[in-house]
A = this chain, B = another copy of it.
């Protein structure tokens, strides 16, 4: 089924790029990298039941499988160019593929990324996407450039996706599927049950953040030459800022009261839960970055042009590790640490 399915998806994506000398249809793609650019490459796998809820719509799986990879490109300050898609499916389910392709294509078109290769195989549902981007030589954003005294910023809002997952898990515990093999009908039933359950728009908004993350590509481009270090928040702020600190040989202090919490999250969780979700919840795909020159006003303006808000949440300090401080600058003990807590 290999060629036909991937070609059907490619036809839907339909992003013509003059730098694709040979796309899908040969043993490999032939791609033109402009002089003066570095190639930026990453790959991420989504497995059913681990990285997206069993109730996820195929469109959302398609969108998210590309989004999580574009988020990595964004964190490097790279411009998306090409994608390869490896899709493993239990059976040649054309309806699933059509809907998956629709979600994948929607984001691919918005980001002008061409699908240039792929493979479809039979097996338990999982999706591996590889994305390739371009960045002017030596302007890529990395994790290793944070220095003591830098400010720490984060785009958008934190904790929404993890909040949605909590709501979803609560629901699944109160409405367990009748049998594990019940498959799509049961999943559809659970989706319907969830939709009934969503009495407040707030919950629907959180769910959209979980299922349709918006990779901060434009923000990443705006941060070239501005940020001293950058990472995307996929595993949770503490875990990901921790990677920046480790790579840069520094520590950080986060002001708990400064964490950007959406009104939707605040409507569903108490203040402490919101803080913990913002600190440790994964899957937000915001950018966390450091900046050395106290140009907060300029950064807010730049990122507003790039379509997102941005909040200063703390500072880089000498040493190692991350401390979370309350309004009186006293350290807060944080029990939760990382995405796993929410995911399983």
Residues on A facing B (Cβ under 8 Å): 21-22, 25-33, 35, 37-51, 72-73, 75-76, 78, 82, 84-86, 88, 116-119, 121-124, 126, 128, 130, 132-133, 135, 137, 140, 142-144, 230-232, 247
Contact = CB atoms under 8 A, between A and B. Distances in A.
A231 B86 CA distance: 20
Query: Which of A35, A40, A128: most chain B CB closer than 10 A?
Result: A128
28 contacts: A21-B38, A22-B140, A25-B143, A25-B247, A26-B76, A26-B144, A27-B73, A27-B143, A27-B230, A28-B41, A28-B76, A28-B133, A30-B135, A31-B38, A32-B39, A32-B137, A39-B132, A41-B130, A41-B132, A43-B85, A45-B88, A45-B121, A47-B123, A50-B122, A121-B126, A123-B124, A123-B126, A130-B130
Given A43-B84, A45-B88, A86-B128, A38 B27 contact: no
A126 to B, nearest CB: 6
A49 B73 CA distance: 34
Contacts of A33: 33, 37-39
Contacts of A130: 41, 43, 84, 130
Contacts of A140: 21-22, 30
User: How many copies of the chain does the oligomer comprise?
Assistant: 2
A41 B133 contact: no
Query: Which of A41, A73, A137: most chain B CB closer than 10 A?
Result: A41
Nearest to A51: B121
A43 B126 contact: no
A43 B143 contact: no
B28 A75 contact: yes
Nearest to A141: B27
Nearest to A131: B28
Given A44-B119, A45-B128, A30 B39 contact: yes
A306 to B, nearest CB: 18
B28 A72 contact: yes
Given A26-B144, A130-B130, 9 more contacts: A30-B135, A31-B39, A31-B41, A32-B39, A43-B86, A47-B88, A47-B124, A50-B123, A86-B86
Contact of A40 (B25, B30, B118, B144): B30
A235 to B, nearest CB: 9
B117 A27 contact: no
A337 B232 CA distance: 47
Contacts of A50: 121-123
B26 A247 contact: yes
Contact of A29 (B31, B35, B42): B42
A239 B50 CA distance: 36
Given A50-B123, A124-B123, A130-B84, A117 B26 contact: no
Question: Which 7 residue pairs are nearest across A and B when measured between Cβ atoms?
Answer: A47-B123, A28-B42, A27-B75, A128-B128, A124-B124, A130-B130, A33-B33
A33 B30 CA distance: 13
A132 B29 CA distance: 10
A10 B173 CA distance: 40
A231 B124 CA distance: 29
